[in-house]
Structure 1
Amino acid sequence: MILLQKRIIHIFIVMLVLLTFNSQVWAGEPQIIGETAVLLDAKSGAVLYGKEEHKKMYPASTTKVLTALLALEHSGLTDQVTIGPNPIKAGGTSIWLQDGEQLTMQELIYALMLNSANDAGVAIAEHIAGSADKFAELSNERLRKIGAKNTHFTNPHGMPDKEHYSTAYDLALIGREALKNEDLRKIMTTINHEIPRADPEAQRHLFNHNKLLWSKTYGYKGATGLKTGYTVEAGQCIIASAERDGMELIAVVLRSEGFNIWTDAVKLLDYGFNNFTNRQLVQGGTVMADVPVKYGNGSVKLLTKNDFYYSLPKEGQFDLHVTTEPAEDVRAPITKGQVLGAVVIRNGEEVVGEVPLVAQEEVKRDWGTTLKGLIKWGLLPLLLLLWIRRRVYLKRKRQQRLARRRKYYNYLD
């Protein structure tokens, strides 16, 4: 059954036609003390506020969000990590790891994210990549996949280096990727954690530096992470996130001062929750079309590849249309997951997003159908051409006979 004929595109036409939100009164943009800042909708990826968000800055320990994410992507939580001689030379905040000591990867990530332990960062890097330098290469490769174009890391912890830099926007992208990992979410929201260590005098108790999670003064309702940071060169830094009513926001502030790092983050999050909402306009995995396949047996169903969320101010008028536009000429063979069109989201005439349409299943070339096509479009024209050639040949032969007869009669005369 054809769910949607080709080029009939209005699936969710007028999802939100001239829709008006009349909730809270629009509040002015927040006044941020930090040198650079950004507020990102975690689901849609939309920038809701920016202050020099693409300016390159020292990221300090916010670097560790990516280190933790790579640790979870490239190792198991129960992996045993043997500490070498380099972690104890990391400098800065530390849990004083000892050469030869063994901890699980999970305990090292807790130390990295709660206590901001630089030595744990080096131990993780060496376990995964063999060295901190190799780990930096892995980090930069992952950054390119995330889309953090203005970020370059040289170490796993964020200690000052002129070639180690990022931007508020890129750090928000890193945070957005990190929030997709449930293990990392659990670690980032843990307030206290105790790690087992052989030395009874070694530091075991870890306490989360992110006051948004626990402070009576600066605690924030719905806080979900992520990480603070500080060096003299970087100043106070934070990647903060919070979730309310199904909407999750990421606030990044770089080079703030003292308690302003908390008030800046709170201002950004409040601004986002008070003035914006988001709507899921496309659900991934939904069948949107069933289109015929040339040279194939039947048709192929097209699915949306991913979800699509759109961020909206709570006040304003919108003319949102979600339409599906399958490819015009679909031919076998087709591989499962092959892109064959798109769902296009428009606000009025402006395209605000696209979701690829992909094949639900493989469609092989049907040689019987192909042969029929060749007969229809190849054999019949060939037969017609042969018939024309035959007619031309017979006409020429008839003309030759007539010419011979005329020559004979002229000879008799």
Structure 2
Amino acid sequence: MFLLIFNCSWVAAAEPELQGETAALIDAKTGRLLYGKDAHKRMYPASTTKVLTALVALERANLSDVVTVGPNAINSGGTRIWLPEGEQLTLEELLFALMLNSANDAGVAIAEHVAGSVESFAQISNLAAKKIGAVDTHFTNPHGMPEENHYSTAYDLALIGRKAMENEDFRRIVSTVHHEIPRSDPEAQKYLFNHNKLLWSTVYGYKGATGLKTGYTSQAGQCIIASAKRDDRELIAVVLRTEGVNLWSDAAKLLDYGFDNYENQQLIEKDKVMTSLPVIYGKENVKLVAGEDYIYTFTRENPEDLQISFDVPESTLAPVDKGEVLGAIVISKGQEEIARINLMSDHQVDRDYLAIIKSALYWVLPIVLLLLWLKWRIGVALRRRRRLARRKKYEEASRYNDIDTY
């Protein structure tokens, strides 16, 4: 077993004081929860719902798709760009309307285009949320208008935001400050302006802001999923049910806290040789490489010790394929296992038939020699027995001859 210990001792930092009812902050690269305030409490998510709507649409349809607006979009309520039945826009233009202007009617048009109905789209969205790890999320619509069974948590929304920002088209859309879409009616709204002031405001703007989405209903209060990047680190902050300018100050406090008091270190490098493994009947030992990068977000609050060990067998049997999983790198903190990374063969190892023959001879030759020795000993014993029998017969014959002569 191979063991490394990483010890990081930094000065403790005070947690941010927030006005929002619930909040969460995660590192986008590692997914580690850096701060939580009732982060798993179920809340109305308002228009932050649209982050998952956009992600599902991007994964299941093409930006160039022409979407024909159905009769239900106009009845969505809340913020709209007043899409009439029959109007046609590309999916990309509808996503700009959804994410910048927070248009609920665009959400309904997208949902019906992707899944045929709002209800079917909600089912797809809920499955997508569970796959991401957002297990306390259940959506009934694509836009976030309040319904009893439409809920999420600050932590789940952070996970959804993290996943969405992995999509380059999504990232491009939510970082856009203003955009113009074509409309068939020259009087219809075509100029879109991003509601996320962190991206553009000289008063509330945040340096390095990259997205994501604001929201508001009277039941949900002011909500935001905010993201920002400094150097090679990106953070996702969520604040739910806050008021007024606290929306921006709470998000900024969370992001400052994460950038100032945490840092990432790469502990494991993908494809780096970590150890080797004997290959029985193989021409050589096989080198084992890490199957992926592993980066850990170290807290500055308290010293942290991480142990890295190898979980590998004593040997393996030839042949070995390149990329075959033969063990694991185990990363632990105390008694808690926090990560397991595959160890894979970095090249193919064929059978060594000469080694197989040698091995066979190693085990078979002594047996053969023993059998030959036993055969020789039995032969010696039989020959001795025959000689004794002949001698006995000769002696008996001699004794009879002596009697007759007398």
- Separation in structure 2 between the aligned mates of residue 207 and residue 109 of structure 1, nearest angstrom: 13
Classify the secondary structure of the residue corresponding to 2:280.
coil
**Residues 334-345 of structure 1: pairs in structure 2 closer than 5 A:** 334=320, 337-345=323-331
Choose the corresponding residue for 1:99, options 40, 62, 85. Answer: 85
Q: Indicate whether 1:207 and 2:196 are aligned.
A: no
Sort the Cα spacing of 1:315 and 1:397 in 2 relative to 1 into closer, same or farther, 3 A: same
Choose the corresponding residue for 1:265, options 251, 268, 272. Answer: 251
Question: What is residue 366 of structure 1 aligned with on the other side?
Answer: 351
Task: State the Cα deviation string for residues 255-289 of structure 1 (Å, max 9, x = none).
Answer: 11222222211121122222222222222333323
- Separation in structure 1 between the aligned mates of residue 115 and residue 371 of structure 2, nearest angstrom: 71
**Residues 284-295 of structure 1: pairs in structure 2 closer than 5 A:** 284-295=270-281
Amino acid of the residue matched to residue 275 of structure 1? Answer: N
Question: What is residue 217 of structure 2 aligned with on the other side?
Answer: 231
Question: What is residue 34 of structure 2 aligned with on the other side?
Answer: 48
Task: State the Cα deviation string for residues 17-71 of structure 1 (Å, max 9, x = none).
Answer: 4x4446xxx4421222222111112222221211111111111111111111122
Q: Indicate whether 1:375 and 2:360 are aligned.
A: yes
- Separation in structure 1 between the aligned mates of residue 55 and residue 69 of structure 2, nearest angstrom: 20
Sort the Cα spacing of 1:73 and 1:337 in 2 relative to 1 into closer, same or farther, 3 A: farther
Amino acid of the residue matched to residue 111 of structure 1? Answer: A
Offset of residue 200 of structure 1:
0.9
Bigger Rg, which one: 2
**Residues 117-266 of structure 1: pairs in structure 2 closer than 5 A:** 117-266=103-252
Classify the secondary structure of the residue corresponding to 1:355.
strand
Amino acid of the residue matched to residue 293 of structure 1? Answer: V
- Contact 1:318–1:348 (Cα < 8 Å) also in 2: no
- Contact 1:41–1:47 (Cα < 8 Å) also in 2: yes
Task: State the Cα deviation string for residues 156-201 of structure 1 (Å, max 9, x = none).
Answer: 2222222222111111111111121222111111100001122212
- Separation in structure 2 between the aligned mates of residue 154 and residue 397 of structure 1, nearest angstrom: 95
Offset of residue 318 of structure 1:
4.2
- Contact 1:65–1:227 (Cα < 8 Å) also in 2: yes
Offset of residue 76 of structure 1:
2.4
Q: Indicate whether 1:37 and 2:20 are aligned.
A: no
**TM-score by structure 1 length?**
0.82
- Separation in structure 2 between the aligned mates of residue 358 and residue 110 of structure 1, nearest angstrom: 43
Classify the secondary structure of the residue corresponding to 2:109.
helix
- Separation in structure 2 between the aligned mates of residue 184 and residue 314 of structure 1, nearest angstrom: 32
- Separation in structure 2 between the aligned mates of residue 100 and residue 56 of structure 1, nearest angstrom: 37
- Contact 2:283–2:352 (Cα < 8 Å) also in 1: no
Question: What is residue 275 of structure 1 aligned with on the other side?
Answer: 261
Sort the Cα spacing of 1:69 and 1:375 in 2 relative to 1 into closer, same or farther, 3 A: same
- Contact 1:224–1:243 (Cα < 8 Å) also in 2: yes
Amino acid of the residue matched to residue 351 of structure 2? Answer: D
Sort the Cα spacing of 1:106 and 1:287 in 2 relative to 1 into closer, same or farther, 3 A: farther
- Separation in structure 1 between the aligned mates of residue 72 and residue 355 of structure 2, nearest angstrom: 65
- Separation in structure 2 between the aligned mates of residue 44 and residue 33 of structure 1, nearest angstrom: 27
- Contact 2:26–2:236 (Cα < 8 Å) also in 1: yes
Classify the secondary structure of the residue corresponding to 2:317.
coil
**TM-score by structure 2 length?**
0.84
- Contact 1:279–1:311 (Cα < 8 Å) also in 2: yes
Task: State the Cα deviation string for residues 314-346 of structure 1 (Å, max 9, x = none).
Answer: 365444454444443433455554432222334
- Contact 1:297–1:369 (Cα < 8 Å) also in 2: no
- Contact 1:125–1:132 (Cα < 8 Å) also in 2: yes
- Separation in structure 1 between the aligned mates of residue 370 and residue 118 of structure 2, nearest angstrom: 73
Amino acid of the residue matched to residue 124 of structure 2? Answer: L
Sort the Cα spacing of 1:251 and 1:384 in 2 relative to 1 into closer, same or farther, 3 A: farther
Q: Mean alpha-carbon deviation: is it higher for 32-41 or for 368-377?
A: 368-377
Task: State the Cα deviation string for residues 296-327 of structure 1 (Å, max 9, x = none).
Answer: 55344433222222222336544445444444
Offset of residue 119 of structure 1:
1.7
Unaligned ranges ≥5, structure 1? 1-6, 409-413
RMSD over aligned Cα atoms: 3.4
- Contact 1:296–1:369 (Cα < 8 Å) also in 2: no
Q: Indicate whether 1:305 and 2:317 are aligned.
A: no
Sort the Cα spacing of 1:35 and 1:315 in 2 relative to 1 into closer, same or farther, 3 A: closer
Question: What is residue 100 of structure 2 aligned with on the other side?
Answer: 114
Question: What is residue 52 of structure 2 aligned with on the other side?
Answer: 66
Sort the Cα spacing of 1:345 and 1:95 in 2 relative to 1 into closer, same or farther, 3 A: same
Sort the Cα spacing of 1:205 and 1:278 in 2 relative to 1 into closer, same or farther, 3 A: same
The structure, 1 or 2, with the larger RCO (C-alpha pairs under 8 Å, 6+ apart) is 1
